[in-house]
């Protein structure tokens, strides 16, 4: 299943000042922070970077309007600050998003309370409210909504990162640029603790099958919902678990007649908050909150969660006649929330916790509990401080495309199209996903027609981006490429035939033989369907069987 004959030199016997376990957004942020502080840092990830909860989130970069209800003012302030930074520094990946909060006469929240909350939220954000949705958009939405209710609309601004996988890839490269060693498909089997102190980590390379032992000055356990498991395997005993997993599921629908162009935040029939978001030319609906302490690797959305989400969106937009058959796929992830057996999931604090294992007999080991996409960089700074490093904010580097290469600017698109001899759509796609590195990828594309070819007939993203993913962004498998570095397989029309076509085109450039091609394709399809659970076809088959 390996794409290229990567040099995976053994790490056996090497010593690192910091070993970070888990390459989700938090682990990558922590590794980058420690490497930038001059520490010899190793980051290991058992599967692929960003393949855990990070890719199963709602993908909103938000201040946490909902946290205001629970009085978490500090978290809201921190989240708003981080949102602002991401919007400024990663403008190609994080976009402002207009939200409409909808209430009707049976809503549990009063209009007055919501108005006050939004006023406070906007004040804390320190920026004037954005423009309200246009009359036309409101009228269009009103026509699509359930006419049996009296709807009130409230406007506010937040942001969306459509592809946190890409954000993680960029931070990963910055960690590598700061001399971190990073390995995906490398599992931490156990943390080695002797005489009450962390000594190292036992690793298993999932590609070569080789076990290796590295020395560690500090171990930071950033394995998200797997955090307790890492400790159990390392015989680090605690009086109670650190985590209480809460599963959140989403469904993905094709755009439907009347589907909103703004993000909708409203209450489902049971009063729980629900989002209906334009995402990647589709509609993302979520989420549920179900206690789940099972193996996070095997998390899938339950049938009743899918029905609940379908029912909620169908009730909201009755004319669209949405049913389970409309659903393209569903996916689930476990929120790694702090263990709070007596609290309702929605009431559990969302602020991250850094658990110091000194009292558990493992001095110099921390576990990261909780967090959000939005606050991963500030979590990393907290973590660095906790282990005695300076936690200066990474200086505002020009990582976004910069004003001259803004994907929204025609001139920038034309310039990339000229450099790469690619279509304007391909150039725009490169700018949106690779920021200022688009120019380098375009130069590579210019070299041959094969490198300029689209990955599959339905996308404008090109093979040169795949080559970049393998060379620079540590992609190892076809899934690493198509689901996370160049995530075209999350697109609206991706199907098995796209997978086959993509494998053929990528294989031609990477020189695969037939066997390698078959193995890559099979592993990719298995990963894709384990993540994005097909619903529509299964629902149709069930209905047909019941007839
Ligand atoms: C349903 C849902 C919706 C969400 N929506 C949002 C949102 O809209 N906005 C927002 O800001 N946040 C959101 N979040 C929260 C956010 O997604 C998570 O807090 C964040 O992604 C957690 O990142 P992480 O790095 O801690 O965990 P993960 O992304 O899960 O990373 C942990 C990694 O550790 C690896 N690992 C595990 N064990 C080992 C081992 N033994 N050795 C090596 N590696 C190992 C795993 O493979 C995994 O990749 C949402 C979460 C959920 C569940």
Where are the chain's structural domains? 15-53+165-241+350-386, 94-159+244-345, 403-534
C-beta of 234 in contact with ligand 1 (< 6 A): no
Calpha distance 474→177 (Å, rounded): 13
Q: Which stretches of the chain score pLDDT less than 70?
A: 1-7, 128-130, 346, 393-409, 536-547
Between CA 483 and CA 413 the distance in angstroms is: 24
Instruction: Give the pLDDT of residue 545.
Output: 61
Residue to probe by mutation, ligand 1, list 28, 58, 286, 376, most atoms within 8 Å of CB: 58
Query: Does ligand 1 lie within 6 Å of residue 21's CB atom?
Result: yes
How far does residue 535's CA lie from ligand 1's centre (Å)?
A: 24
Q: Is the CB of 470 under 6 A from ligand 1?
A: no
pLDDT value of residue 174: 97
As a whole number, the mean pLDDT across the chain is: 91
- CA quadruple 38, 39, 44, 49: dihedral, nearest 10: -30
| pTM of the predicted protein model | 0.95
What are the backbone angles phi and psi of residue 510, rounded to the nearest 5°? -90, 0
Residue whose structure tokens are 């459509």: 162
Burial call 100-122: b when 16+ CB within 10 Å, e when fewer: bbbbeeebeeeeeebeebbeebb
Ligand 1 within 6 A of CB of 373? yes
The residue whose CA has the least distance to atom 25 of ligand 1 is 24
Question: Which residues lie closer than 8 Å to 56 by C-beta, 6 or more apart?
Answer: 248, 250, 299, 331, 332, 333, 531
Q: Is the CB of 299 under 6 A from ligand 1?
A: no
Q: What pLDDT is attached to residue 1? A: 45
Q: 403-534 has which fold?
A: Helicase, Ruva Protein; domain 3 (1.10.8)
Burial of 81 (0-12, 13-18, 19+ CB in 10 A): middle
Evaluate whether 15-53+165-241+350-386 and 403-534 have a shared fold: no
pLDDT for position 350: 74
Which of 28, 29, 45, 57 for mutating ligand 1's site (highest number of atoms within 8 Å of CB)? Answer: 57
pLDDT, position 450: 95
Identify the pLDDT of residue 398: 44
Cα–ligand 1 centroid distance for 292 (angstroms): 15
d(CA 76, CA 72): 6
Distance 370 CA to ligand 1 centre (A): 8
Residue from 28, 53, 190 to probe ligand 1 pocket by mutation (most atoms less than 8 Å from CB): 53
Looking at residue 5, its pLDDT comes to: 43
Establish whether residue 53 lines the binding site of ligand 1, counting it when its CB lies within 6 angstroms of any ligand atom. Answer: yes
CATH topology of domain 94-159+244-345: D-Amino Acid Oxidase; Chain A, domain 2 (3.30.9)
Q: What pLDDT shows up at residue 404?
A: 52
27 pocket-lining for ligand 1 (C-beta < 6 Å): yes
CATH number, span 15-53+165-241+350-386 = 3.50.50.60
Rounded to whole angstroms, how far apart are CA atoms 408 and 421? Answer: 19
Residues with Cβ within 8 Å of 130's Cβ and at least 6 positions away in sequence, in order, are 96, 98, 155, 156, 157
Task: Say how many C-beta atoms besides its own lie within 10 A of residue 434's C-beta.
Answer: 29
């Amino acid at each position: 299943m390996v794409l290229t004959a990567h040099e995976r030199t053994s790490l056996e016997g090497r010593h690192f000042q910091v070993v970070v376990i888990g390459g989700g957004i938090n682990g990558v942020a922590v590794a980058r922070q420690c490497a930038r502080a001059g520490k010899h840092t190793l980051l290991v990830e058992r599967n692929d970077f960003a393949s855990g909860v990070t890719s199963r989130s709602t993908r909103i970069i938000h201040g946490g309007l909902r946290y205001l209800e629970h009085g978490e003012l500090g978290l809201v302030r921190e989240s708003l600050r981080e949102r602002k930074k991401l919007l400024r520094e990663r403008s190609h990946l994080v976009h402002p998003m207009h939200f409409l909060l909808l209430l009707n006469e049976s809503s549990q929240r009063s209009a007055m309370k919501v108005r006050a909350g939004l006023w406070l939220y906007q004040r804390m954000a320190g920026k004037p409210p954005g423009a309200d949705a246009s009359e036309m958009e409101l009228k269009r939405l009103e026509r699509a909504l359930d006419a049996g209710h009296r709807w009130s609309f409230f406007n506010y601004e937040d942001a969306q990162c459509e592809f946190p996988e890409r954000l993680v890839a960029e931070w990963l490269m910055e960690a590598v640029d700061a001399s971190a060693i990073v390995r995906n498909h490398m599992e931490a089997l156990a943390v080695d603790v002797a005489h009450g102190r962390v000594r190292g980590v036992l690793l298993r390379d999932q590609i070569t099958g080789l076990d290796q032992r590295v020395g560690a000055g500090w171990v930071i356990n950033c394995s998200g919902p797997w955090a307790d498991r890492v400790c159990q395997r390392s015989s680090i005993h605690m009086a109670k678990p650190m985590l209480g997993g809460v599963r959140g599921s989403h469904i993905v629908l094709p755009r439907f007649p009347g589907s909103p162009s703004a993000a909708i935040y409203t209450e489902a029939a049971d009063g729980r908050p629900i989002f209906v978001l334009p995402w990647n030319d589709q509609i993302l609906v979520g989420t549920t909150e179900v206690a789940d302490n099972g193996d996070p690797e095997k998390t899938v959305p339950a049938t009743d969660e899918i029905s609940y989400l379908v029912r909620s969106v169908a009730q909201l937009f009755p004319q669209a006649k949405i049913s389970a058959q409309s659903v393209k796929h569903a996916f689930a992830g476990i929120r790694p929330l702090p263990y709070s057996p007596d609290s309702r999931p929605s009431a559990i604090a969302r602020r991250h916790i850094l658990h110091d294992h000194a009292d558990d007999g493992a001095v110099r080991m921390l576990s990261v509990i909780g967090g959000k996409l939005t606050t991963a960089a500030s979590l990393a700074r907290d973590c660095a401080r906790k282990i005695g490093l300076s936690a200066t904010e990474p200086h505002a580097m020009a990582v976004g495309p910069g004003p001259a290469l803004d994907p929204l600017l025609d001139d920038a698109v034309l310039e990339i199209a000229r450099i790469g001899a690619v279509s304007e759509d391909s150039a725009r796609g490169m700018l949106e996903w690779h920021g200022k590195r688009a120019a380098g990828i375009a130069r590579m594309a210019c070299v041959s027609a094969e490198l300029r070819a689209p990955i599959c007939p339905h996308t404008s993203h090109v093979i040169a981006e795949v080559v970049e993913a393998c060379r620079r962004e540590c992609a190892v498998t076809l899934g690493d490429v198509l689901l996370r570095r160049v995530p075209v397989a999350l697109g609206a029309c991706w199907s098995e035939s796209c997978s086959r076509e993509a494998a053929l085109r990528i294989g031609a450039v990477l020189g695969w033989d037939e066997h390698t091609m078959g193995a890559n394709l099979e592993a990719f399809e298995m990963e894709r369907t384990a993540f994005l659970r097909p619903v529509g076809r299964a629902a149709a088959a069930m209905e047909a069987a019941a007839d």
